Chain A
Amino acid sequence: MRRNRFLTTGQSSCVHARLSAAIALGKATATLSRLLRRGGGTTMPGRVARAVEPGVVGLLSARLPLGSVVIAGTNGKTTTAHVLAHIMRVLGQQPVHNRAGANLAAGIASALVEHTDLLGRPRGDLGIFEVDEATVPRVVPAIAPRVAVFLNLFRDQLDRYGEIDYIAGLWRSAGAGLARDLVAVANADDPLVFEAVHGLPGSLVTFGIEDDHYALAALEHTAEARYCYRCGTAYTYEATYFGHMGRWRCPTCGVARQSPDLTARDLTLSGPDGSEFTIHEAGSGGAARTRTVLPGLYNVYNVLAAVAAAKALGTPLGAAAAAVASFAPAFGRAERVLVDGRDVRLLLVKNPAGFNEVLRVTLAAGPLPVILIAINDRTADGRDVSWLWDVDAEMLAGRVGRVVVTGLRAEDMAVRLQYAGLPPEAIEIEPAYDRALRRALDLATSGRLYVLPTYTAMLALRAVLQQWGTVRGFWET
């Protein structure tokens, strides 16, 4: 046991009483919201528990015998958390993790309350928490994680969080409150991540891709980090993989990507069916081949991050790599569902770099795919839809069978596609989710349909599928 605030005798009985009340009321809220079918109770129990005992996240996470892992970054938090939880479960541990997207303080508190019994004993041994960018400074020091994973920094939800530099600053300021034995697991290919984790206490483990076969011809339009964080000179890239990920260097001040501790090499990407690659370990020279059903280069990064975190928790590379193979995606992140004999892939889109990757995956699947794009502009999606114009939608021109667009901003997406060069007859607007899904399924005569929703549009489409009896409610996943 690393920390045992649980057992300290100096803790006042007042805190004990408040914490017990917080757990009981949180659990009652969870039961109630499930009965009322209010969104599965992923955040309300935590809100109630925190109102009663504001320190509930710190107090309950301290009771997890194997400590906690936090996962931060713009893209891939949920997938990485799920892959890591899967690896640890295969190895016999019982992870406690927050539900997809419930990554603000209330969502994390909800997960902890749910996995604690009424006597305050944890039902689980390892915490794995995805943390929202803006929550990092408040929640991460309270959790006092053993391992903190930093995936990437992309332009996302600018209207909520302001600018990328600001988020990098949040990460750095949270770092000051972290333990000296922290292991930071960071993406070496992202210069913004490099700058954000620079100077954190504890030790640093880095990961990256080394396979120029899959490098892009040029830096994408979406790339955020074109200019050196320190001196303002344009970075030069020996290779770029997606967005601003790659082998970067500043020609003026010399700051450059460090050779990563874990690298993915000898990649074989099989479109939407996943990929295969070898994970090399720099120190030991060890290597393990792994395969995953998660598609695209962006998921190679997520798998690498999860394996690196598992290693930081003491898992041997070979065991972690082997466990990855049995991971089945869920909840809109490359999730597969069968509807009326159609193979439907749900590929969440949140920002331009991720959207580009998903489009590449879809186009690699075969000729003239049918795609359903669902764009909302609620708070969780980002209220400003201007990011759609940073997506390289031009790659679809002449290569897509039909695109059905739906959601609150269906028309904005349709305009984007028109200016990307799609002919009018290739674009259909259907604002209602159920009719859009039905129409897209009817068009998908090849047997495959690709569904690309923003976050709340994904929830809405899943609700339709659930009504049709195709997927389970998200509190059951």
Chain B
Amino acid sequence: MTPTLRICHLYPDLLNLYGDRGNIIVLTNRARWRDIEVRVTEATLGTPIAAGDADLYFIGGGEDRQQRIAVEDLLREKRGPLTDAAAAGAVVLAVCGGYQLLGQFYRPAEGDELPGLGLLDLWTEHAGPGAPRLIGNLVIQPDGGEPAMIGFENHGGRTYLGPGVRPLGRVVSGFGNNGRDGWEGAVAAHVYGTYLHGPLLPKNPAFADRLIREAMWRRHPAFELAPLPDRLEERARATVLARIGGAPPG
């Protein structure tokens, strides 16, 4: 029987600010190149999801207005099944605005804290009026000897990690979670959040494969991914890494 990977793309029409569709394109292709059958479902406003529906959930980032529309639906309709799925070992990947939504809460400049999904022990704060957005190329080094992760960041909020999560990596170049503590992203079990986009997965094929492997293991234990040549991916990574620390763009 052909092994299958079921991907659920949450709010592709609302949270799609930074080429986030590229992450789905990369996951789909890299799985198919290993003869895995891939099924992608899109769940947007009013689309019900169930905990056993998918092996991997993806949430991207959106503009403020779109994010406000999505968060209401997310908390009301999708929080329960998503929490259950994560507890059962499904992979969740969230980028930028989606990353912030996975946390405990968002603290605006004024007014009450806005609740998040609580899948990751972290919170995000508005940096105050006039504070600069954190924008630019971002390189981080995950622990455990994995390859550096490369991308672009563009966020106003500053994220701080609680004791219940580990950072995804240490900032080598760029700002990361808050521009202060040197950490970027967050991981707990198979739930991942990060400010890295560009999009994230095309230039981080090892990380893409890690997500596919973890998503497959749930229903196909000991499933192994055949290596891919990644010739163009490695070349793109080398070019960016060579430029970081070089002349600033302009």
Q: In the complex, are the beta carbons of A165 and B249 less than 8 A apart?
A: no
Residues of chain A within 8 A of B16, CB atoms compared: 221, 390
Q: A221-B21, A415-B203, A419-B25 are in contact. Are A165 and B65 (CB under 8 A)?
A: yes
Residues of chain B within 8 A of A265, CB atoms compared: none
A116–chain B nearest beta-carbon distance, Å = 30
- Is B239 engaged at the interface, CB distance under 8 Å to the other chain? yes
Stretch at the interface among A28-36, A283-291, A354-362, A379-387: A379-387
Q: In the complex, are the beta carbons of A227 and B66 less than 8 A apart?
A: yes
State A429–B238 Cα separation when bound (angstroms): 14
Residues of chain B within 8 A of A227, CB atoms compared: 13-14, 66, 69
Q: In the complex, are the beta carbons of A163 and B63 less than 8 A apart?
A: yes
- Is A226 engaged at the interface, CB distance under 8 Å to the other chain? yes
B112–chain A nearest beta-carbon distance, Å = 21
Q: In the complex, are the beta carbons of A164 and B250 less than 8 A apart?
A: no
Q: A384-B154, A386-B152, A390-B21 are in contact. Are A226 and B202 (CB under 8 A)?
A: no
- Is A18 engaged at the interface, CB distance under 8 Å to the other chain? no
- Is A426 engaged at the interface, CB distance under 8 Å to the other chain? no
**B172-185 interface code vs A (CB 8 A; 1 in, 0 out):** 00000000000000
B152 and chain A: residue at smallest CB distance: A384
Q: Which residues 1-25 in B have Cβ within 8 Å of A in the complex?
A: 13-14, 16-22, 25
- Is A412 engaged at the interface, CB distance under 8 Å to the other chain? yes
Q: In the complex, are the beta carbons of A158 and B154 less than 8 A apart?
A: yes
Residues of chain B within 8 A of A415, CB atoms compared: 202-203, 232-233, 236
Q: In the complex, are the beta carbons of A378 and B250 less than 8 A apart?
A: yes
Q: In the complex, are the beta carbons of B249 and A377 less than 8 A apart?
A: yes
Contact of B63 among A164, A379, A389 (CB under 8 A): A164
- Is B216 engaged at the interface, CB distance under 8 Å to the other chain? no
Interface centre among A386, A411, A424 (most CB of B within 10 A): A386
B157–chain A nearest beta-carbon distance, Å = 13
Q: In the complex, are the beta carbons of A386 and B198 less than 8 A apart?
A: yes
Q: In the complex, are the beta carbons of B18 and A158 less than 8 A apart?
A: yes
Q: In the complex, are the beta carbons of A411 and B64 less than 8 A apart?
A: no
Residues of chain A within 8 A of B203, CB atoms compared: 412, 415
Q: In the complex, are the beta carbons of B69 and A414 less than 8 A apart?
A: no
State A389–B26 Cα separation when bound (angstroms): 10
Residues of chain A within 8 A of B65, CB atoms compared: 165
- Is A311 engaged at the interface, CB distance under 8 Å to the other chain? no
Q: In the complex, are the beta carbons of A383 and B249 less than 8 A apart?
A: yes
B92–chain A nearest beta-carbon distance, Å = 21
B25 and chain A: residue at smallest CB distance: A419
- Is B235 engaged at the interface, CB distance under 8 Å to the other chain? yes
Q: In the complex, are the beta carbons of B14 and A389 less than 8 A apart?
A: no
Q: Which residues 146-166 in A have Cβ within 8 Å of B in the complex?
A: 155, 158-159, 162-165
A418 and chain B: residue at smallest CB distance: B232
Range of interface residues on A (Cβ < 8 Å):
35 or more
B7–chain A nearest beta-carbon distance, Å = 15
Residues of chain B within 8 A of A424, CB atoms compared: 231-232
Q: In the complex, are the beta carbons of A379 and B250 less than 8 A apart?
A: yes
Q: In the complex, are the beta carbons of A162 and B235 less than 8 A apart?
A: no
Q: A165-B64, A411-B236 are in contact. Are A419 and B202 (CB under 8 A)?
A: yes
Q: Which residues 128-160 in B have Cβ within 8 Å of A in the complex?
A: 133, 135-137, 152, 154
Residues of chain B within 8 A of A163, CB atoms compared: 17, 63-64
State A410–B133 Cα separation when bound (angstroms): 27
Q: In the complex, are the beta carbons of A389 and B19 less than 8 A apart?
A: yes
Residues of chain B within 8 A of A411, CB atoms compared: 232, 235-236, 239
Q: In the complex, are the beta carbons of A386 and B19 less than 8 A apart?
A: yes
Residues of chain A within 8 A of B135, CB atoms compared: 159, 383
**A405-416 interface code vs B (CB 8 A; 1 in, 0 out):** 000111110111
State A221–B135 Cα separation when bound (angstroms): 24
Q: A383-B152, A389-B19, A416-B202 are in contact. Are A429 and B63 (CB under 8 A)?
A: no
Q: In the complex, are the beta carbons of B21 and A389 less than 8 A apart?
A: yes
**A47-62 interface code vs B (CB 8 A; 1 in, 0 out):** 0000000000000000
Q: In the complex, are the beta carbons of A232 and B133 less than 8 A apart?
A: no
Q: In the complex, are the beta carbons of B235 and A429 less than 8 A apart?
A: yes
Residues of chain A within 8 A of B66, CB atoms compared: 227
Residues of chain B within 8 A of A427, CB atoms compared: 232
- Is B199 engaged at the interface, CB distance under 8 Å to the other chain? yes
A219–chain B nearest beta-carbon distance, Å = 9
Contact of B26 among A158, A221, A408, A419 (CB under 8 A): A419
Residues of chain A within 8 A of B235, CB atoms compared: 411, 414, 429
A227 and chain B: residue at smallest CB distance: B69
Q: List 20 A-B contacts (CB under 8 A).
A: A159-B135, A159-B152, A159-B154, A221-B16, A221-B21, A227-B13, A232-B69, A378-B250, A383-B137, A386-B19, A386-B22, A386-B197, A389-B199, A412-B203, A415-B202, A415-B232, A416-B22, A418-B232, A419-B26, A419-B202
Query: B residues near A, CB below 8 A?
Result: 13-14, 16-22, 25-26, 29, 45, 63-66, 69, 133, 135-137, 152, 154, 197-199, 202-203, 231-233, 235-236, 239, 243, 249-250
Given contacts A411-B236, A414-B236, 15 further A-B contacts (CB under 8 A): A155-B17, A163-B17, A221-B16, A221-B21, A378-B250, A386-B152, A390-B16, A390-B21, A408-B243, A411-B232, A412-B203, A412-B236, A415-B203, A429-B232, A429-B235
10 smallest A-B Cβ distances: which pairs? A389-B22, A386-B19, A389-B19, A411-B236, A163-B63, A386-B18, A384-B152, A414-B232, A411-B239, A232-B69
